[in-house]
Amino acid sequence: MSPTNDALHVIVNFCDQLLRVAQFSDYPNAHNGLQVANSGKITHLGAAVDANRMSIEGAIAMGVDMLLVHHGLFWGRSLPITGHRRENYKLLLDNDIAVYSAHLPLDCHPEFGNNALIMRKLGISPIHHIPCDHDFTMPVGKFNGPREALKNALGSLFPRTIGLEFGGANINRVLVCSGGGGGTIAAMEDVSFDSVITGEAPRHFFDFAYERRLNAYVCGHYATEVFGVRALAQKVSDKFNIPWSWIEENCPL
């Protein structure tokens, strides 16, 4: 694609359709889709997990004019544009950087969602999906192997993995939910899996795993959500022949 002044909206429409953004209710005020517009000219894409100061500064340093993120600028209640929020918006506007955010639509996309890509990297074959709030589903897949094999694979992919191993030595069905999925998982009454992989979990997730005799692995909210937005950036880059760069946050949480 040539860097014309309507490039932004062409790319936004492509992403909206690809991710089926309109099908998700998502969390209050998550605002999937275009969050900040620029002048319309797109010559360099940036991908990051979060639309925060670190990724915005990285985008500026790399000459990015469209930032694709998983966690956008808006969550929950409306807040005044003051302090650090004003600075973030000012940096984006002064440097003509657009921001496109995809939260739950990116988590559960069947081809390049976070959960699908984690399963693929670990050799887990999807079996079925468990419906959740906000039109979101969590995949359960077949592993069929010893617990040590899954644990070793997780250690290579997510070096900071915390294991809660209360289940059997052999693993059959694994539930995967990236990011902050531990709280949602721990609220489930019926389980159709013997193991869980998630990014972040509350204290009572420990009790949930113990009482249901599960093997549960908490791998980091940030670490489990780098995959989807990278894949989205590559897809947009291939479609429109625009280069993209990864903006690393080095977040250990």
In this structure, which CATH number among 3.30.160.100, 3.40.1390.30, 3.40.50.2300, 3.30.930.10 belongs to the domain 114-221? 3.40.1390.30
Task: Give me the pLDDT at residue 2, please.
Answer: 47
**1: confidence class by pLDDT, cuts 50, 70, 90:** low
Return the domain boundaries, the chain.
Answer: 7-105+226-246, 114-221
Q: What is the pLDDT of residues 50-89, one digit of tens each?
A: 999 999 999 999 999 999 999 999 987 778 888 898 999 9
% the chain with pLDDT above 70 = 98
**Phi, then psi, of 88 in degrees rounded to 5:** -65, -50
SS3 2: coil
Q: What is the pLDDT of residues 10-47, one digit of tens each?
A: 999 999 999 999 888 888 888 999 999 999 999 999 99
The mean pLDDT of the chain is 93
Buried-exposed string 90-109: b where 16+ CB fall within 10 A, e elsewhere: eebeeeebbbbbbbbbbbbb
**In the numeric block, which tokens belong to residue 212?**
């249901």
How much is the pTM? Answer: 0.93
Pairwise pLDDT comparison (190 vs 162), residue with the higher score: 162
| Contacts of 147-155 spanning 24+ positions with Cβ under 8 A | 147/171, 147/195, 147/215, 150/122, 150/174, 150/195, 150/215, 150/217, 151/217, 153/121, 153/122, 153/123, 154/122, 154/197, 154/217, 154/219
The CATH homologous superfamily for domain 7-105+226-246 is: NIF3 (NGG1p interacting factor 3)-like (3.40.1390.30)
